[in-house]
Every structure is written in structure tokens, then in C-alpha cells.
Structure 1
Amino acid sequence: MKKIFTLSLLLLSICAFAGPPKNQYVRIKTAYGNCIIRLYNETPLHRDNFIKLAKKGFYNGTLFHRVIQNFMIQGGDPDSKDPEKTKFGAELGDGDVGYTIPAEFRDSIFHKRGVLAAARDDNPKKASSGCQFYIVEGKRFTDGKLDTLETTRLKGHKIPVWQREWYKSVGGVPHLDQNYTVYGEVVSGIDMVDRIAAVKKDECDRPLADVSMTVEVLSKKECKQLDEILF
């Protein structure tokens, strides 16, 4: 009996030492493949809101309603689940959940290829939509094009050298930096984004054939396994 008690304490100690996963991951499933996204701990308001909605099943059945190749794919509009609002030719993108999320800009987080970011309307505080998001496909830039962006669309904001190297070698959408909150990144399945971005669409950038999604929050065990692989 004493040995069993000692073994139980040892197991409890190991579990306690192991602790919870360092990061939370979610999986987005579509007919064009799946991707796994790590949500950033540096943007807790956006992270926790996305997890809350995903656990409720909010995103299940919503569409990627706006796709632009070499730029991004956008989804999460609750109106895209309404049959009356998803008829051919109907414009989506105005649906919301009745609240916004304060901007969480971080100098170390930028619009590199594969990041998850919050959509928003035109508001002075640059507060994010409570539900709509986009995933960056992006494209590669030259130093000359980055210089031009700094003096025009970025209004003097200087892109750090290490971020420049990323934009030149991997790609992204640098003109959105410090304007839209980035709060996660694809760690597996970026080809899903490429496939969706390449579909045929109408003049409003809506896919001609609906691209629906399912979003699930990964278990603690799955998150720990991914942490061990990635970090």
C-alpha cells in the first residue's frame, strides 16, 4: 500500500512538473485541406476571444467569403451561415458579434506569410472585429518596394532589417503592419491557404463556389506535442 501511495505521489509530481502547454493551437478544416494555427500569447485578448468562439462552434459553417491571391483569405462572418445572405451574388463581410477587441500591436509581430490577423472596419482606434479574421498568403518584396511602402502606405514606419529579410525571402503583406492586429500563425498546412486563394471568384472577391470551414480547439495533449516539435 505504501509503494502504491509513493508511486501515485511520483506520478502527480511528474504531471505537475510537466505543466500545461505553452501555446494554444486550433485546426481549421476545409474542403481544400486543413491547417493548424498557433495563437500568440503576446496578444491575449485576441487569442482568448478566438478560443471562446471556436469552443462554441461559432465558426463552424462560416465561409471564407473574400479571397485575393498573393494577399489573403478572409472569413468568420456569421452572416455567411445565413442561407438568405449567401445566395449567389450576395455581398458578405458586414456581420459581427456586437463588440470589438482593442488593438494589440507588437513590434515583434508582423504580417509575414501564414499569419492569422483580425479584420476590422475603419475606426480611429483600429479596434478589431470580434469575429472576422484573415490568413495571409502574401508575396515577396524587393528592398525598393519596401522602401516605397515605408514612405507611402506605412507613413514613415521603418520595417526592421530582420523583418525585411523575411518579406524578401518568404513574403507577406507589410503595408498592413501596425494597422491590423496579428495574433497567430499557421504552423502546418499553409498549402490550404494557397489553394483557397487561387479559387475562381466574382468581382467582390467572393469564391464562386462556397468555401466553408470548421474550427476546432486542440486538446492540451495535442498542444503539448506540438510545443515539443516546434520549440
Structure 2
Amino acid sequence: MNKIFLILSASLLLIGLGNTAFAQFDDKLVVLETEQGTIVIEFFFEDAPNHVENFISLTESGFYDGVLFHRIIPGFMIQGGDPNTIDGDPSTWGTGGPTTSVDAEFNTIKHNRGIVSMARSADPNSGGSQFFIVHADSNFLDEQYTVFGRIVTQESFETLDKIASVDTASQDRPQDPEQVKITKATTINRSEISNLLELDAPIRTESIITPTSSTVNQQFESTEHEIGFSVPEGWLLQTPDKTQANAPDVVAVGPKTGSMNPVISLTVQETGDRTLDDLIAEKLETIKPVIEAGNLKVSSQKKTIINGYEAYVTEAQGYFSSNGENFNVRFKEVMIYDTEKFYTLAYSNGLGDFKSQLSSFEETLDSFEILTEGSSNGDSTDESSTEEGGGCLIATATFGSELAPQVQQLRELRDNTILSTASGTAFMSGFNQFYYSFSPVIADMEREHPLFKEFVKLSLTPMLSSLSILNHAEIDSEEEMLSYGIGIILMNVGMYFVAPVIIIYKIRK
């Protein structure tokens, strides 16, 4: 199965001109020797000349010898190149680099599997020595990070998969650092490598046609289940006959852009006095045989708070056969818990196309409402939140815009970092109850008035930018979470309240 997965993933790069059409025969390549195998990197000299020169220079100086891949997120990327990982404290991993930096050379090459790109802080011109290799297509990074190379041998892809599969601890650090060490990094001429793959020109954001996201969603309400949510305009909404308890009650099928159609489904079931922990235990027992058979690999499972309700989020990848065809499918499933019922919202798509509709699923999730009064989280639903529409004002304002990737990154930050601490979870629980008391009303106004939506989007931009700081912070304790959190809250209070008051005062004076 792993071999087929590797071939299918690598084939995503096979569009355009052949490798030999744009690469010079005697170009320099870099060879990274690791405990898991060898990685060979070729470079895009014309797209990022300064980054290529910097990477080759560091390699030839011995800078990368002994460093680790210190941040490993399967299904996303592996990151390395920090000299602090040689003998520094793990709490400093991700903060080190050379004394000089490289200015951004953002280009149109898409962050597809096997791409090598430069890591950076909030400052676009802060690239140094840290780089990452994309494990699965991550196009929300496109044109925001500098792509300067890609891996070019079969062994390189196999090594990438092996490193991505090692056990990790907190902050996505490897449990056994020796497993992911770069023992030696050297440069070599292209003519000296005999096993290069015949890869085509890299896929670019300007060279393919992608479906245009619609900013108008279809609203769905069910009086039977007393719920409401939205799905993308143009998706086929169905309410199939429920043949068994765990069969979907509502299914939305999107247009096919890859090997399969994207699907968003909702399943409503009775809790039967079971707690969320009981339901989680049952879920794990149900999928255990599929995991043991090797047909399903769970990448993450975690409790969280969604729209003020307890929830459990599962992300997984499965390999299935249907009508003689084989499919690599990626899933995201969210179980939302209420006293009498629990609601399972799920999104599935082909592995290579999963990211393309993930923001659509997140907006569906944000718009989900339980229309009954007196839910388990103690909220009392008023008329404004039970009317048709509703949802998250941030998701509605940024859906399909240039801010959508940033919002997606903040969702991942919330789930992976903020909600991993008790103080973060407590804050999000209180914030959600406050936020969703008015958010659906504003989201409806955004849908009805495009100019108002643009105003909200502009108003949100400073806040989203300030929250992005947490993407580059190493948070290892409750104290650090509180410190960063309070700092960012005070920053936003200053931007939205103190600064306007001072400006108005000075104008009037």
C-alpha cells in the first residue's frame, strides 16, 4: 500500500515540460544523508537565486551536518536546518539560524509533495537556514513562502515518508532525534546522479485553472433534526434514506476535480445517555480493525470546543477499492456533542485535492447550529440565532478571499496549540459562548450586503495579523500560553480601542 501511495503522490508533480528541458546537466544538487535514507534536492535557480545560493553555501560550509528534522507533521511537511538541534536545548529548536538572512523571493511554484521551501518568521525577509520539505500538497502556503527546490529521486520520496512517520512528542518534535538526523550534507553535480526521476516542470499557481470559490453558500435547515448549516453553492444536497443508525442524514457532493468528488456529510444520532468519552471509546473500537488491516491511518485525534459545544476531531487517511478502482482518501470528521444527540460532520476527498475544499468544510462547520433551546453548554438560543443563515462572521468575511489561508492556519493553531493547554481551552470555551451570541447575525448581514462584508474583512485584518504571531511562537507551558495570550489581547485592545480614542481626541483638540 505504501508503494502505491508513493507512486500516486509523486505523480501529482508530472505536469508540464520534462526535467531535462529546464535543468542544466551540470547544475549543483544537494545530497542529505539521514538515518532513514538519502534525500537529493535540485534547485530552481531562476525563481529563487539568492535562496539557492544561500542553501548551497551553507551546505558546502558543513552547516547542515548533524542537524535534525526537528518539526514533523505527517500529511503536511518535515522541517530542519536549525543548528540549535545539534546540541541545544529542545525548547530552542526552531529559533536558530545563521547570522544573516535572505530576503523573500516568493514565486508561483505550488507547494506540492516533494517541494523544498524556506521557513521564516512573521517577517517575510527572515529566511536563514531552516527549510521544510512538503509531505502532502499544502497549497495554502503558495506565494507566502519561498520555494527554491524539490526532491528528485525515488529514495528521496521514500525517505521523506519514513521521516514523516516517526513518533513525535509535543510541538511535533521527534521522540528519538537520532532517527531524523542529517548525518552529512554535500553538493554534487547533476551528471553524477544516475537515478534521477523524470519529473516535469513544477506546477505553478498561474499555470492551472482552479474552480472559483463562491462566496454565496446554500443554507440547509432540518426541522426534524433541529439543525442548520451551510454548504458551498453548486454542491448537490441530498437527504438519503437512513438505512442504519450511523448512515448520513444529509450529504453534499461537490464537483469532481481529481480522482473523486469531495463530500460533506452530517450524521445525527441519539446519545442514549452516553458521555462524549463513551462515544469516543466506541469510535476507536469501531475503526480498530480497519487500522490493524492497514487500510486506515489516523493522523490526529483531539478534543476541542466548536461553536460552544464539546467536540472530538479526527483526521485520517485511508486506502480503498471500489469497482476495480483504488483510491487514496483523506478524511476530517468532527463529532459535536449535545445532551440528547451528537452530530458528526465529515469531509472526505482525494489525497491530492483534500486541501482545495478544506476551507469550504470549515465554513460549513462554523455555520453549524443546533436550533433547540437549552443545549448542554448552557446557552439559551434567541430568535436571531435560530433564523435561517447564521454562522461565523470571520469565516463568512474571509471565505474565498486572500485571507482564507491565514484563517485556516489560525484554526490549526487553535486546535494544535491553544487547546493543548488548560488556560487556552478555558479561554476558547468562554470566548465561543460570547462570540456566537452575535456572530450569526453579523454573518447574515455579510451575506446580504457585499459592501458590509468588505468592511468587516478590512476590520478583521489587523486582528488576524496579530494572531499570526502565535504561529511562530514556541509554547511549551501554561505560563507561556498566558504570556503570549495576554500580550496579544492587549495589542488588539490598543489597536481597536486605545489608538482610535487617541486619534479622535487629537483631531478634536
**TM-score, normalised on structure 1?**
0.68
5+ residue gaps in structure 2? 1-23, 201-509
37 and 202 in structure 1: CA distance in 2 versus 1, 3 angstrom threshold: same
Distance 1:64 1:228 in 2: 24
List aligned pairs for 1:44-193, cutoff 5 A: 44-82=49-87, 84-86=88-90, 90-107=91-108, 109-123=109-123, 126-138=124-136, 172-188=137-153, 189-193=156-160
Q: Is the 8 A contact 2:29 2:190 kept in 1?
A: no
CA-to-aligned-CA distance 1:35-80 (integer Å, 9 cap, x gap): 1110111211011111100001100000100000000000000111
Q: Which residue identity does 1:113 align to in structure 2?
A: R
Among candidates 181, 189, 206, match of residue 219 of structure 1: 189
The CA distance in 2 between the partners of 1:136 and 1:48, in whole Å, is 21
Match of 2:305 in 1: none
Query: Secondary structure of the equivalent of 2:168?
Result: coil
Contact 1:57/1:215 (<8 A) preserved = yes
Q: Conserved in 2, the CA contact under 8 Å of 1:23 and 1:227?
A: no
What is the match of residue 163 of structure 2?
196
Q: CA deviation at 1:228?
A: 10
1:22 shift after superposition: 5.0
Amino acid in structure 1 at the alignment position of 2:25 = P
Amino acid at match of 1:193: L
Structure 1 residue identity aligned to 2:159: M
Q: Distance in 2 between matches of 1:94 and 1:118?
A: 14
- Any idea what the Cα deviations from partners look like across 1:63-111, whole Å, max 9, x if unmatched? 10000000000000011112x424xxx341000112221111222x110
Q: Distance in 2 between matches of 1:91 and 1:100?
A: 18
Q: Distance in 1 between matches of 2:122 and 2:96?
A: 15
Distance 2:45 2:190 in 1: 15
- Could you tell me the TM-score, scaled by structure 2's length? 0.32
- For the aligned residues, what is the CA RMSD? 2.1
User: Shift of the alpha carbon at 1:23?
Assistant: 2.7
Offset, 1:128:
4.2
Say whether the 8 Å CA contact 1:118–1:128 is kept in structure 2. no
Query: Sequence identity of aligned pairs in percent?
Result: 37
User: In structure 2, how many angstroms separate the alpha carbons of the residues matched to 1:173 and 1:195?
Assistant: 19
Q: Confirm whether residue 206 of structure 1 aligns to residue 173 of structure 2.
A: yes
Normalized per residue, the structure richer in helix is 2
Work out the CA distance in 1 between the residues paired with 2:37 and 2:112.
Answer: 21
Deviation at residue 229 of structure 1 after TM alignment = 6.4
SS of residue matched to 1:77: coil
Which letter maps to 1:222? E
Say if 1:228 and 1:212 are closer, same or farther in 2 by CA, change over 3 A.
Answer: closer
Query: How many pairs were matched up?
Result: 171
Partners of 1:67 and 1:91 lie apart in 2 by: 16
Assess if the C-alpha contact under 8 Å between 1:91 and 1:204 holds in 2. no
Partners of 1:130 and 1:61 in 2: how far apart?
Answer: 17
Runs of 5+ consecutive residues of structure 1 not aligned to the other structure: 1-19, 139-171
Larger radius of gyration: 2
Specify whether residues 206 and 28 from structure 1 end up closer, same or farther in structure 2 by C-alpha distance, changes over 3 A only.
same
Q: Write the distance in 1 (CA, Å) between the matches of 2:58 and 2:66.
A: 13
Q: Is the 8 A contact 2:135 2:161 kept in 1?
A: yes
Amino acid at match of 1:212: K
> Is the Cα–Cα contact under 8 Å of residues 63 and 212 in structure 1 kept in the other structure?
yes
Give how far 1:137 is off.
Answer: 0.3
Taking structure 1 as reference, are residues 97 and 229 closer, same or farther at Cα in structure 2, changes over 3 Å only? same
CA separation in 1, counterparts of 2:127 and 2:105?
12
| Moved beyond 6 Å, runs of 4+ | 226-231
Contact 2:26/2:191 (8 A) holds in 1: no
Amino acid at match of 1:216: T
Q: Match of 1:35, SS?
A: strand
Distance 1:229 1:50, change over 3 A: same
Distance change >3 Å, CA 191–CA 220, structure 1 → 2:
closer
Displacement after TM superposition at 1:117 (Å): 0.4
